[in-house]
Amino acid sequence: MSAVPSKMPLQGLFGEYAAGPFYDEMFAAPDEPRPHYAKIFQKLARMMPSQFEERRKHADLSFLLQGITFTVYSDGRGTERLFPFDLIPRIIPSSEWQRIDRGLAQRVVALNLFLQDVYGKQRIFADRQIPRALVYSCKHFMREVIGIEVPRGIHTHICGIDLVRDSKTGEFCVLEDNVRTPSGISYVLENRAVMMRTFPDAFQAYEVLPVNHYPAELARILRSISPRGGDDAQIVLLTPGIYNSAYFEHSFLAQQMGIELVEGRDLIVDGGIVYMKTIHGLTRVDVIYRRVDDEFLDSLTFRRDSVLGVPGLMGAYRAGNVALANAVGNGVADDKAIYAYVPTFIRYYLGEDPILRSVDTYLCSKRDDLAYVLEHLSELVVKAVGESGGYGMLMGPTADRARIEEFDRQIRADPRNYIAQPVVPLSRVPSYDPALECIAGRHVDLRPYCLYDGENVTIVPGGLTRVALQADSLVVNSSQGGGSKDTWILRGED
């Protein structure tokens, strides 16, 4: 292996690069790339902007042809847009990843135990670890599933846990749990495929851990929860349909796993058994990987106006005739107020200290916290507890007075509905800015995908790195102009 000089001048695409006051994942100092980034930095620094631009166009075309798009509804018609892909990979050293992997596994197991408990014996209330009223008042707590025994005790088959690297400490911490129907894994797999086609030379310089075993592992778990047992379980993926923003992912996963992609209208419940309508009659369904939210699953139990689900499905589920992944009612575990208690769950259920830090969280339902939050609104991030995707959020430091006053009123009117956290200064990774035609630092987060089979947690190395492509923006959501990057975990030593 050739020695890499630690100091390298910034040139070419990096000509204008400034690390700024944030943790820069590529550079330890302005002209000193971190060791695990050195080779890719050299490669990029030697490229002409036009060469880079050509590869970028090639990658974009590949996403377009495959229809890897998401739907935006802002213009009322729903147009298909590309999820911007940034060609500069995000690299996480192996030693750091191993800690993340252990921390996530610990968290997933604790969340699963919490769900088993609140929908089962409810020991945690008796032991006064969390107020019953807080749990019962969560928007996604489902009384309807109390007492249902889910196959193999698994509630959280698939979790997407959002991590951020705090620039102050340089350490990864958990920002949010997603244990209902987390999406994005298809981008992880497709980003990698496109990256390997567009930048094959970059892979030759590194040993990057593969990610494409995800569908097979998920399929194995889905088969294992079939109520009838056996290897020939009929598994389907239930999608809301082509107008759902994650439809590409639904069809992608169904195809990769070799299972049927169904809509609610393809299924029917008769005598407590779920069937699908085929050209040769009805066929029994054993396992449903559902990408339809709880409240739309069954119009007889939940929202009566839902046409996305299957009337009678909950009856079949309760009778144990069909398995659902993820389980119904998981939303209580990723409620933003419950988030503050996850370290408690880890200590209570596992008797361990949390490996990954959580972000300090103020619950406005607590009197002291509320007073503090109202005092410091202009410094904090305020979030409505039942929302996701960046909705119902106040970014104190960048909000104007009117917006702060609006939140002040809303919080006072319904404190239970809000939490607040200090602003986490997200780390940055060099990313290509097509408008400036050069590389600049952009904020990122990381969503690893965790699969739980009741005993072990399998985490695909890396996950989805979302990047805020606007300069200085901390918002990485795709609906707000965010893009993504291929995420590399390197084999062995860094």
Partner 1 sequence: MLSRIAESLFWLSRYIERAEYTARILDVNFHTLLEQSRDRYRLRWEPLIVMAGEEERFRRIYDEANAPAVFEFLAFSQDNPSSIMQCIAKARENARTIRDCISREMWEDLNGLYFTVNRFNPAEEMEAGPHRFCDAIRFGSHRFHGVTDATLPHDEGWEFLRVGWFIERAEMTARLVDVQYHALYDAPAEIGGSDNHQWMAVLKSVGAYEAYHKKYHSSIDPEKVAEMLIMHPLHPRSIRFSMTEVQSGLRAISGTGSGSYANEAERLTGKVLERLRYDRIHEIFNLGLHSYLNDMLRMCGSIGEDIARSYFYYAVVA
List of E strands, 120-246: 158-166, 171-178, 235-238
- Contact segment (CB under 8 A) with partner 1 among 49-57, 103-111, 248-256, 475-483 equals 248-256
Q: Tokens 């992944």 label which residue? A: 325
- First CA to last CA across the chain, in angstroms? 13
List 276's β-bridge partners, or say none. 267, 283
- Contact segment (CB under 8 A) with partner 1 among 24-32, 249-257, 337-345, 384-392 equals 249-257
Residue 436 found at the interface with partner 1 (CB under 8 A) = no
- In the sheet that 287-290 helps form, which strands lie side by side, from edge to edge? 260-262, 235-238, 287-290, 323-325
Among 99, 197, 277, 376, binds partner 1 (CB under 8 A): 277
- CB nearer to partner 1: give 270 or 406: 270
Interface size with partner 1, residues (CB under 8 A) = 24
- Contact segment (CB under 8 A) with partner 1 among 16-24, 58-66, 298-306, 363-371 equals 58-66
- If DSSP codes are grouped into helix, strand and coil, which group holds residue 261? strand
- CB nearer to partner 1: give 270 or 379: 270
Inter-residue contact 224 to 453 (CB < 8 Å): yes
Inter-residue contact 243 to 252 (CB < 8 Å): no
- CB nearer to partner 1: give 91 or 259: 259
Q: Radius of gyration of the chain from Cα atoms?
A: 23
Handedness of CA 6, 7, 10, 12 (dihedral sign): negative
Q: How far is the CB of 329 from partner 1 (least distance, A)?
A: 28
Inter-residue contact 104 to 160 (CB < 8 Å): no
Q: Which long-range CB contacts under 8 A does 195-202 form with residues at least 24 apart? A: 195/59, 195/87, 195/89, 195/486, 197/58, 197/59, 197/62, 198/55, 198/58, 198/59, 198/62, 198/87, 199/55, 199/87, 201/43, 202/40, 202/43, 202/89
236/288 Cα distance (integer angstroms): 5
- CB nearer to partner 1: give 270 or 387: 270
- CB nearer to partner 1: give 20 or 241: 241
Site map 326..355 versus partner 1, x via CB under 8 A: ------------------------------
Interface of this chain with partner 1, residues 111 to 150, rule: CB under 8 A: none
- CB nearer to partner 1: give 1 or 65: 65
- CB nearer to partner 1: give 181 or 427: 181
Q: How far is the CB of 259 from partner 1 (least distance, A)?
A: 9
Residues in contact with 233: Cβ distance below 8 Å, sequence separation at least 6, in sequence order: 222, 223, 226, 286, 287
Neighbours of 116 (CB within 10 A): 19
- CB nearer to partner 1: give 63 or 339: 63
Site map 366..405 versus partner 1, x via CB under 8 A: ----------------------------------------
233/285 Cα distance (integer angstroms): 8
Q: How far is the CB of 315 from partner 1 (least distance, A)?
A: 15
Please state the φ and ψ torsions of residue 350, each to the nearest 5 degrees: -110, -15
Q: How far is the CB of 248 from partner 1 (least distance, A)?
A: 8
Among 276, 393, 395, 474, binds partner 1 (CB under 8 A): 276
Neighbours of 481 (CB within 10 A): 13
Count of H-run helices and E-run strands, the chain: 13, 25
CA angle 185–74–161, rounded 5-degree value:
25
Site map 11..50 versus partner 1, x via CB under 8 A: ----------------------------------------
- If DSSP codes are grouped into helix, strand and coil, which group holds residue 201? helix
- Contact segment (CB under 8 A) with partner 1 among 135-143, 278-286, 414-422, 458-466 equals 278-286
Interface of this chain with partner 1, residues 252 to 271, rule: CB under 8 A: 252, 254-255, 260-263, 265-266, 268, 270
Among 482, 448, 174, which Cα is nearest to 333's? 174
- CB nearer to partner 1: give 156 or 191: 191
Residues in contact with 274: Cβ distance below 8 Å, sequence separation at least 6, in sequence order: 267, 268, 284, 285, 288, 310, 313, 316, 321, 322
Site map 59..78 versus partner 1, x via CB under 8 A: -----xxxx-----------
E strand or H helix at 101: helix 94-118
Q: How far is the CB of 255 from partner 1 (least distance, A)?
A: 4
Among 242, 307, 319, 436, binds partner 1 (CB under 8 A): 242
- CB nearer to partner 1: give 106 or 306: 306
Q: How far is the CB of 67 from partner 1 (least distance, A)?
A: 5
Residue 241 found at the interface with partner 1 (CB under 8 A) = yes
- CB nearer to partner 1: give 3 or 65: 65
Q: How far is the CB of 276 from partner 1 (least distance, A)?
A: 6
Binding stretches for partner 1 (CB under 8 A): 64-67, 241-242, 247, 251-252, 254-255, 260-263, 265-266, 268, 270, 276-280
